[in-house]
Amino acid sequence: MPSLSIRKGDQVKVIAGKDRGKTGRVVRVWPKGDKVMIEGVNQVKRHEPLRQARSGRQGMEGGIITKEMPVHISTVALVCNTPDCNERARIGWAVDPDGSKRRICRKCGTEL
């Protein structure tokens, strides 16, 4: 499995596509497909049919439903949340003496 630098819960900014400039939090990541789902970004409308009630239960309501779709990971950039930086961040990796890796902002050096 590839090691992705963007993870669930990260604050990201869209840098390409119809939602360019929007920021949001990563909800889900698909490492094999190189895709991420961001809340409030890439919303599409789907026409859902009315489902009939089965065995006395209420049926689901139909109509036009707005939902979020995944975007490719190359179209988003991580945002550094420190007050002095607070913009797109290039990601670096720092290796601790015990061998564990952690992500750092290349501009300000804080841990992401």
Please report whether residue 73 resides in a domain: yes
State the Cα–Cα distance between residues 108 and 79, nearest whole angstrom: 12
Whole-model pTM: value is: 0.76
pLDDT band of residue 55 (cuts 50, 70, 90) is low
Instruction: Print the domain residue range for 96.
Output: 11-51+62-105
Give the mean model confidence (pLDDT) for residues 42-49. 89
Q: Phi/psi at 75 (nearest 5 deg)? A: -95, 5
> In total, how many domains does the chain have?
1
Radius of gyration of the chain (CA): 19
pLDDT band of residue 1 (cuts 50, 70, 90) is very low
Give the mean model confidence (pLDDT) for residues 28-43. 92
Q: What is the pLDDT of residues 65-100, one digit of tens each?
A: 899 999 999 999 999 888 888 788 888 889 989 988
Q: What is the SS3 assignment for 27?
A: strand
Q: Could you tell me the CATH number of the domain that includes residue 100?
A: 2.30.30.30
